[in-house]
Structure 1
Amino acid sequence: MKPLRLLLTLASLALCACSTVSVTNEWKDPAWSGPPASSVVVVGISKSDLIRRKFEDTFSQQLLAAGLKAVPSYTQIPPGNGGAVKLTDLVRSSGAEVVLVTRMLRVEQKIDVTPTGPAYGGFYGWYGGAWASTAQVTQYDVVTLETSVWDAKTQKLVWSVTTEAVSQEKIAKATEELAQALIPKLRTDGILR
C-alpha cells in the first residue's frame, strides 16, 4: 500500500511541477499579407523591472537561436507607460519589422484533490484502507498571458494569442517554454520567417 500511495503523491506533484504552455485563443489578421518578419523588438509588460528584463532577454535569446534578429526593449526604454516615443525610436533604429508584446492577464489558483488508498484487495481491504487514507491536496497557479505581434510600419495588430501554463518560480524557464511554444506557431502562421 505504501508504494502505491508514494507513487500517486509523486505523480500529482510531477503534474504540477512540469509546465506546458497551451494556446487557449488565437487570432491572425486575415488582411495582413506579410512578408514574414526576420527582425523583432521584444516587449514584456510588467511592474517588476527584473521580471521584464529577464523575460525580454530570454525571449530574445530564443528568437536569436531560431535565426531571427531580436532586440529587448528595456535596453533603450525605461519601465512604465512613458516610453512610447523611445519605443518608436528603438523600432526604427533596430530595423525591426514587428514588435512582440507579452503581458499577464490573470493568475488563477487551482486545487487538485487526488484520493489515495488501496486499489486492490477486495471490498473489505479497500473499505478499511479508504477510512485510513487521506486525499492528496495540491495547490498551484495557472498563469494566462497575452502575446501580441504588431506590424512596425502600419502599427496595426497582426497576430495575438492567449496562453496558459502552470506558474513557475523561474522566469527564464517559463519564458523559454513560452518561446518554444510560440516561435513555431508564429512561423506556421506566416508572422516570422
Structure 2
Amino acid sequence: MKPLRLPLLAIALVLGACNSMSITNQWRDPAWTGPPASNVVVVGISRSDTMRHIFEDTFSQQLQAAGVQAAPSYTQIPAGNGGAVQLRDLVRASGAQAVLVTRVQRVEQRVNVTPSGPMYGGFYGWYGGAWASTPNVTQYDVITLETSVWDPKSEKLIWTVTTQGIGSNDVPKATADLAQTLIPKLKTDGILR
C-alpha cells in the first residue's frame, strides 16, 4: 500500500469528511488566562478553494448558532502561504479575539475483514460451508484532523486538539459534526464564550 501524501489530498478526503468525530488528543496552554473569545476568524487549510469555502462557511455558521461571532477567512485571504499579512489585517479589522485553524493531519486507509462463523457437522459440513461463506471485507478511510486556536494578540497557540472520524463525501455534514464536537469543548475549556 502506497503512503498517502497530505499535500496531494483535496480537503474532500481531508475533511472529506467524517460522519462521527471523536477527540483523540488535546492540549490547552496553562498560562493563557483568557478571557474567552466571542469573535473568531475561521481558517481551513486546503488546496481546494471549494472545500475551504464549504468548511469555513459551515464552521462559521455553527459558531454563530452557538452565540459566537465568526468570519470565514477566504473572503479576504487567498489560499497559500502568501496570506499571512492579509490574515493579520483581517483579524485586526474584524476585532477577532481568536483564530481557529483546521488542517488534515493524516488519512489512513483501513481494511476490516469479518470472517464467517464456524461450520458444524464434521469435516464435510465445514468444507462445504467454508466455500459457501466468504468473509465480509470493507475498506474505509480514517481522517485525523488538527484544530488549533491562536491568540492573535500574543500570536501564541492557546488550544489544540486532534479528532478522528470515518471518511465520507458529505463535507458540510462532516464540518457540522466537527463543529458540534468541538464547540462545546471550546466553551467548557474557556476558549470560547
User: TM-score if structure 1 supplies the norm length?
Assistant: 0.85
The equivalent of 2:22 in structure 1 is 22
The secondary structure found in structure 2 opposite 1:103 is strand
- Is residue 25–residue 161 contact of structure 2 (8 Å, CA) maintained in 1? yes
Number of equivalent positions: 174
The equivalent of 1:124 in structure 2 is 121
The secondary structure found in structure 1 opposite 2:184 is helix
- Is residue 117–residue 130 contact of structure 1 (8 Å, CA) maintained in 2? no
- Which structure ranks higher in relative contact order (CA pairs < 8 Å, sequence separation ≥ 6)? 2
- Is residue 117–residue 134 contact of structure 1 (8 Å, CA) maintained in 2? no
The equivalent of 1:13 in structure 2 is none
Deviation at 1:117, TM superposition (A): 5.0
Q: Distance in 2 between matches of 1:20 and 1:172?
A: 13
Partner amino acid, structure 2, of 1:123: Y
Q: Distance in 2 between matches of 1:39 and 1:190?
A: 14
Sequence identity percentage: 68
Matched, 1:180 2:180: yes
- Is residue 37–residue 97 contact of structure 2 (8 Å, CA) maintained in 1? yes
- Is residue 117–residue 129 contact of structure 1 (8 Å, CA) maintained in 2? no
The secondary structure found in structure 2 opposite 1:56 is helix
- Consecutive unaligned residues in structure 2, runs of 5 or more: 1-16
Q: Distance in 1 between matches of 2:184 and 2:100?
A: 14
The secondary structure found in structure 2 opposite 1:123 is coil
Matched, 1:106 2:103: no
- Is residue 102–residue 148 contact of structure 2 (8 Å, CA) maintained in 1? yes
Q: Distance in 2 between matches of 1:176 and 1:90?
A: 24
Q: Distance in 2 between matches of 1:18 and 1:46?
A: 16
Partner amino acid, structure 1, of 2:85: V
Moved over 6 A (4+): none
The equivalent of 1:144 in structure 2 is 144
Q: Distance in 1 between matches of 2:187 and 2:134?
A: 48
Following superposition of structure 1 onto structure 2, how do residues 1-193 of structure 1 map, counting pairs within 5 Å? 19-116=19-116, 123-124=120-121, 127=126, 128-193=128-193
